[in-house]
Structures are given as C-alpha cells and as structure tokens.
C-alpha cells in the first residue's frame, strides 16, 4: 500500500467531513434515498455522541444511539461505507465496556476488509478506493477528537497483516496535532515492538533511538536509558545470514544509526548518503569499528564513534565521482556538527565545496540537478554550524557565475545565474529569522523574485509562529502572493491553530473572526466566489472547534459556548457544532457537572437529527 496515499485519504476525511443537508425529522426506513456521505456523517456523529453518554454513565442511551448508527448499514451498498460504520461503532462499544458486541462487530469489519479488493466499481488510483483507508478514517477522527482509547482499539483490532499501516496512519494523525506528542511517542513504541517481533530489528532500533531524545527532553531520563539499552542489545544484522529479510544497505543504515545516534533529526539523512556513496568494503571497515561501540554505557558519542567518522572521511576521499564525494563530506560534516565539533565540520564543508566546484566544470548532461542539491546541502551545513557569512559567499558564487549550476527546483531546465542564486536563498533567510533577526530576514526576502520571495516569507512566518509571535507570523503570511507546494490559506490556518494550541485563545478568536478568508482563498487557489465562501466556512468553523475545545479544557465553559455560537448554522457549521458540544460535554462530565453535560449532548443530538438526508416520498 502507498503510505502517502493512505495518509492523504486520512487527512481528507478528517479535514472535509461529508456535508450534511438540513431537513425535517425523517423515519429510518426512508433513509434509503440518502446520499452515502450524508448517512456516514449522521452515523459518525451518533456514535460520537454515544461516547459522550458513556462518559456520563448513561449506557442505555449510548447503546441506543450505537444501534441506530449501526442500522444505517442496511441502507448502504458500498462495502467500504459499511466498513467505516462497523469500525466506528465497534470502537465505541468497546469504550462502553461491551466487549462481546465490540468483538463481533470488529469480526464483521475484518471480513469486509479481507474480501473487498477496492471500494469503487473498478480499480482506481484514488486513496479512498483502498478499504483500509476507511478504517483509518474512523481511527483518525477519534485521535483528533481526543478519544485515544477508541482510536488505538480500532488500529489494533485487525491483526498483524494490517497493523503497520494502521499504526502509521494513526501516528500521522497524532503528529499533525502538536498537543499530543505523548500519544505519538506511544504509537511509535508500538510500531517498534511490532517491528522487533517480526524480525525487522533495524526499524525498531531506529525508532527507539529517535525516542531517546524525546524522553530526555521531556524529563524522563529513565525511559530514555531503557530504550537506549534496548537498541544496544538487539542483535546486529549487517553480517547476518542470508535468511535476513533486510537488504545490506538497510542493515548498514541500522548499524551506522546505532553508532552515530545523536540528537539531530538529520542524522538519518546523513547516514543514508554515506551508505549510498561508499562501497561495501569501505562500509565494512567502518562498521567493524562501530560494532565495538556500546551505546548503553555512554550517553555521549564515544571515542570509537569518532574513529568511525575519521574512517568515513578516509573512505570518502577514495570516491571517484566528485559530486558523490562532495555529498559524503557534507554528510560527515553534519554528524560532526551534531556533536558540536564545528571546526571539523567546517573543514569538511570546505572540502565538499572544493570538490563540487572542480566537478562542476565537467558535469555530465544529467548531473546539474544532483550538483545543485549537493550545493544546497553544503549551504545547509554552514548554516548548521552558524557560519552565515560562509553560506552567503557560496550562494554568491552562483550569482556571479563562478559556479554554474541549474536551480535544483528546475532540474534540467536551463536557468540564469541570478535565478539559481535566488533558489538558494530561502534557507538563509530562515537562518536569520531563526536567530531572531527578522528585519534582516525580511529585507533579504524582498530582494528575491516572487516565487522564491514567497518561499522565504513562508519560512519567516514559520519562525515567528515557532517563537510565539503569532500576530507577526500572520502579518508575514498575508504578504505571500502564492506558493508552489501548499495553499496560502493553509499557512494562515496553521498559524492560528498553533496559537490555539499555545493557549492564545483571545487572539485566535479575533484573528479567526476578522480574517477575510474568501479574499485569501480566491487569491491563493483561484476559487470562484461560491467555492471560496465554502472554503471560508470550513476554515472558520474548524478553528472555532479548536478554540471551543481549548476553552472547555480550561473549564471556561461560557467562552467555549461562545465559540460554538460563532459557527455557521449550515451544513458546514453543524458538523463542527456537534463535535464541539460533545467535547464541551465531556469536560463538564469530568468536572462532575453531569446536568450541564446532558443538556449539551441533547442539544448536539437535536442538530444530528436535523442532518437526516432528503428522502423520497413512498409510493
């Protein structure tokens, strides 16, 4: 299964719930005329409210709503639609303590999953055509809604055949929600346990070592030490028997990651470059040194690891291709920089640049793109050790024509030296912003052409937001004209969402309400006015949902209800209204204000009843 498609489907389902049509009360048997998306929406919301009634210890009411949601399966022809409802209801039955019923429904869902090849009438590249994605939709919504127990139960109820994809999809849902890093770590640990159990120890080790830093940073050194010990004890596989399912390259990456395990996330990328550019015998010499390194006994990179780095430099000097040699020097420089050996890193970056310049004089016709990426890596390396002047000097070599390379974002398309130079500048702009030099960053960004200026402005906005300066971040984002890789309105949304997660709720409410979403949407993606209006409702209502949840968690219930009242009373707002009221009700329940929780659940249920789809008049 293509993981990118799987995750895209998950995000689509979470971000764009099926639209509802407001109507009058209808009889259940008349739902046959309903659009499937509308039925799915109502079933999902009924099951969600059932969870609310379980929380306030009204199991009979919860089961009644679950049975009602389950009955919608009789109206649906598409097996994947039935699969989503079965999965959702089964998870909620488990939450209600009805294990027998939950297991029976999961068994039905498993049968559909096993017997359904694709969701449409014929094969399609659409991610929504993959049955497993419909299960992930159900799990992902619960994850985003904070119903972790249900999300995890769904993800782990279909056996090992599906477990990897389920956990990866759930992990993506948690990593898109910055408020739940502990949940993301928990899912990563389950993935590592799964990989270790099925013999893919290299993947398990990479996860364990990546979590060592997380647990150290969150004040859990004992947990970090436990994972580091686990990683050190896993049998090394690089020279394992031919029965190993791992390729030699993957095994080598595992060994090097274990050897050079450090804090920075670019470690793995550097290791991949080393494995790709060195031959097997060179790697073997380095790994023989690494095998003597015991990570469990030393918190810092031990002397033997430095010896391995030195051996890597020796091996890199023997690489015939100057571009590959340059990339390898840069990769080792990054590893040195990660352990604050900046002088060694600078020397290697200078070597990398020298080799790149020599190789650029006689590039093959298919090499400019590879060389340009190597140059970007060198600039990033200089920035990593704080040598901004050196990074600028390198970029200016391109601008003045002393280093002739294509812009990496244009591959084989010939471009002039100034355009190629501008393509290198956004990371340099980001460096100034990261160090709080926003005025310099903005001045530099404004010297660039539109496409690269917009990319630079995006980097500045991201840095403002990361430092909690949300008003400046939003102001900068509004200066963007258009972006190649993402919607401008998504950038604006992300800034306000970060403010919500940081507790800057008053500012977030004001920004959400005063933002001219329609104008930004039409400018960014060329929407019609009607389309932009729909997008406006989507962004505003989703942000207001986040605001309502945060106020509820702070037990500022009046403010939470005010946020709900700001939502639009239409098909775009009612879905979010129900979600918000349910979340507020859960917080009321935890505050032992059951009566208020019941009122909100009943109000939400009334809205759901109004979502019942249009029907045909019986003959």
Question: Which has more pLDDT, 509 or 221?
Answer: 509
Distance CA 611, CA 35 (A): 12
- Output the six-digit token pair for 382: 């200089």
Instruction: Measure CA 316 to chain center.
Output: 34
Distance CA 200, CA 406 (A): 40
Percent of the chain scored above 90 by pLDDT? 47
- Output the six-digit token pair for 393: 């000097």
* Helix intervals (H) in 361-487: 368-384, 388-399, 417-423, 425-434, 438-445, 450-466, 470-477
Q: Which of 263, 253, 201 is nearest to 232 (CA)?
A: 201
What does the pLDDT average to over 260-277? 73
Cα Rg, the chain, nearest whole Å:
27
Task: With residue 559 as reference, give the H or E element that holds it.
Answer: helix 557-565
Distance CA 105, CA 83 (A): 10
What does the pLDDT average to over 606-618? 63
Supply the pLDDT for residue 172: 83
* Residue that has been written with the tokens 């249920």 in this structure: 605
Angular region, 300: left φ>0, alpha ψ -120 to 50, beta rest:
beta
Supply the pLDDT for residue 613: 53
Q: Given pLDDT bands bounded at 50, 70 and 90, which one contains residue 339? A: confident
Q: Is residue 533 pLDDT above 70, yes or no?
A: no
The residue ranges of every structural domain in the chain are: 1-198, 210-318, 497-619
- Output the six-digit token pair for 524: 């960014």
Distance CA 64, CA 611 (A): 18
Asked if residues 408 and 373 have their Cβ atoms less than 8 Å apart, the reply is yes
Asked if residues 325 and 292 have their Cβ atoms less than 8 Å apart, the reply is no
The vertex-220 CA angle with 214 and 226, nearest 5°, equals 85
Distance CA 619, CA 175 (A): 51
Supply the pLDDT for residue 433: 97
Asked if residues 486 and 468 have their Cβ atoms less than 8 Å apart, the reply is no
Question: Which has more pLDDT, 366 or 422?
Answer: 422
pLDDT in tens, 553-572: 999 999 999 999 999 888 77
Supply the pLDDT for residue 615: 41
CA atoms within 13 A on the CB side of 590: 11
Question: Which has more pLDDT, 12 or 86?
Answer: 86
Q: Given pLDDT bands bounded at 50, 70 and 90, which one contains residue 127? A: confident
Q: Which of 566, 559, 564, 562 is nearest to 579 (CA)?
A: 564
Q: Given pLDDT bands bounded at 50, 70 and 90, which one contains residue 31? A: very low
Distance CA 84, CA 135 (A): 6
The vertex-269 CA angle with 264 and 271, nearest 5°, equals 95
- Output the six-digit token pair for 251: 């095994």
CA atoms within 13 A on the CB side of 555: 6
Distance CA 466, CA 16 (A): 27
């Amino acid at each position: 299964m293509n993981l990118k498609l799987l995750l895209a489907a998950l995000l689509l389902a979470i971000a764009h719930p099926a639209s509802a049509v407001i109507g009058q009360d209808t009889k259940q048997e008349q739902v046959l005329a309903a659009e499937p998306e509308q039925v799915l929406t109502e079933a999902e919301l009924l099951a969600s409210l059932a969870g609310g009634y379980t929380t306030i210890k009204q199991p009979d009411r919860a089961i009644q709503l679950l049975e009602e949601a389950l009955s919608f399966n009789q109206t649906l022809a598409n097996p994947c639609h039935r699969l989503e409802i079965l999965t959702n209801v089964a998870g909620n039955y488990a939450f209600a303590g009805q294990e027998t019923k939950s297991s029976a429904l999961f068994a039905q869902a498993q049968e559909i999953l096993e017997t359904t090849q694709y969701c449409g009438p014929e094969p399609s590249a659409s991610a929504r055509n993959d049955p497993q994605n419909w299960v992930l939709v159900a799990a992902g919504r619960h994850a985003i809604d904070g119903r972790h127990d249900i999300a995890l139960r769904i993800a782990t109820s279909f056996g090992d055949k599906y477990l990897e994809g389920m956990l990866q999809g759930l992990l993506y849902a948690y990593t898109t929600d910055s408020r739940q890093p502990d949940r993301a770590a928990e899912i990563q640990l389950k993935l590592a346990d799964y990989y270790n159990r099925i013999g893919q120890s290299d993947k398990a080790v990479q996860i364990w070592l990546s979590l060592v830093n997380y647990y150290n940073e969150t004040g859990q050194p004992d947990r970090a030490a436990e994972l580091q010990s686990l990683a050190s004890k896993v049998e090394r596989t690089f020279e394992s028997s031919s029965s190993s399912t791992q390729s030699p390259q993957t095994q080598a990456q595992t060994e090097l990651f274990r050897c050079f395990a450090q804090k920075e996330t670019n470690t793995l990328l550097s290791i991949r470059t080393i494995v790709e550019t060195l031959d097997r015998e060179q790697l073997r010499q380095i790994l023989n040194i690494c095998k003597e390194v015991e990570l469990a006994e030393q918190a810092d990179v031990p002397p033997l690891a430095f010896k391995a780095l030195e051996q890597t430099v020796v091996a890199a000097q023997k690489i015939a291709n100057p571009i590959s040699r340059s990339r390898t020097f840069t990769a080792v420089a990054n590893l040195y920089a990660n352990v604050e050996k900046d002088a060694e890193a600078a020397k290697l970056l200078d070597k990398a640049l020298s080799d790149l310049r020599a190789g650029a004089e006689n590039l093959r016709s298919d090499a400019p793109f590879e060389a340009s990426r190597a140059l970007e890596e060198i600039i990033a390396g200089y920035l990593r050790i704080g040598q901004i002047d050196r990074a600028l000097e390198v970029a200016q070599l391109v601008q003045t024509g002393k280093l002739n390379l294509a812009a990496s974002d244009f591959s084989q398309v010939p471009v002039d030296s100034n355009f190629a130079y501008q393509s290198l500048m956004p990371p340099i702009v980001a460096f100034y912003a990261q160090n709080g030099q926003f005025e310099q960053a903005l001045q530099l960004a404004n010297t660039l052409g539109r496409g690269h200026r917009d990319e630079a402005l995006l980097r500045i906005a991201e840095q403002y937001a990361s430092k909690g300066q949300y008003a400046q971040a939003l102001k900068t984002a509004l200066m963007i004209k258009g972006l190649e890789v993402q919607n401008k309105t998504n950038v604006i949304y992300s800034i306000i969402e970060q403010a919500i997660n940081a507790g800057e709720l008053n500012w977030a409410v004001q920004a959400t309400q005063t933002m001219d979403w329609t104008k930004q949407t039409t400018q960014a993606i060329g929407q019609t006015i009607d389309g932009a209006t729909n997008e406006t409702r989507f962004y505003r209502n989703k942000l207001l949902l986040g605001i309502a949840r945060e106020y509820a968690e702070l037990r500022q219930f009046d403010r939470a209800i005010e946020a709900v009242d700001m939502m639009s009373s239409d098909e775009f707002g009612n879905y979010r209204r129900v979600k918000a009221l349910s979340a507020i009700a859960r917080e009321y329940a935890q505050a032992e204000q059951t009566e208020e929780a019941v009122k909100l659940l009943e109000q939400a249920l009334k809205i759901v009843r109004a979502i019942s789809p249009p029907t045909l008049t019986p003959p």
